[in-house]
Amino acid sequence: MDYYKVLQSSHADDLALIKKRYQELLLKHHPDKNGGVESSEFLEIRKAWNHLSTPEARKLYDAELFGSQLSQDSAVWCTLNLQDLRFNGEEYSYSCKCSGNYEIHQEEIDIILQEGDKSCFVSCDSCSLTILLNL
């Protein structure tokens, strides 16, 4: 399970934004609105927030997330350099063989570089493939 997806957020979002989404989702799925029953969505949202609610917890979860992506070698379709992607002034994109797209925002790249990484994984928006992107 990707806790960022549960909270309708992305890895690049800052904590304040994720918290805002969490609170909105929590209200939407609150047991009070569901006859007092804790729905599975509600429990997932709570769990996801537990993993992302502090910088320390988030760092740990990110390491887990990217570690698990690293070990899924078969899901990596190819390795690309940033200049292989199309740039529209804000976002880099690349067409997947499934006709989906790989997209990464300039801001996400800036954050990755700031953290000292030279590469990252980008997931296709419509299939399970991933590309390894050298920055």
Which among 4-12, 51-59, 99-107, 112-120 is the span making contact with Zn ion, rule CB under 5 A?
Answer: 99-107
Site membership for Zn ion, residue 98 (CB under 5 A) = yes
Q: Which long-range contacts (CB under 8 A, 24 or more apart) does 108-116 make?
A: 108/10, 108/11, 108/12, 109/82, 109/135, 111/12
Q: What is the closest distance, in whole angstroms, from the C-beta atom of residue 122 to Zn ion in the complex?
A: 11
Q: What is the closest distance, in whole angstroms, from the C-beta atom of residue 111 to Zn ion in the complex?
A: 24
Q: What is the closest distance, in whole angstroms, from the C-beta atom of residue 126 to Zn ion in the complex?
A: 5
3-class state of residue 120 by DSSP: strand
| Alpha carbons 2 and 60: distance in angstroms, whole number | 14
Site membership for Zn ion, residue 127 (CB under 5 A) = yes
Nearer of residues 60 and 98 to Zn ion, judged by Cβ = 98
Give every strand in the sheet of 101-105, ordered side by side: 86-87, 91-95, 101-105
Nearer of residues 49 and 77 to Zn ion, judged by Cβ = 77
Site membership for Zn ion, residue 82 (CB under 5 A) = no
What does the block give as tokens for 28? 């939407």
Q: 100 to 119, contacts with Zn ion by CB under 5 A? A: 100
Q: What is the closest distance, in whole angstroms, from the C-beta atom of residue 27 to Zn ion in the complex?
A: 34
Chain positions contacting Zn ion, by CB under 5 A: 96, 98, 100, 124, 127, 129
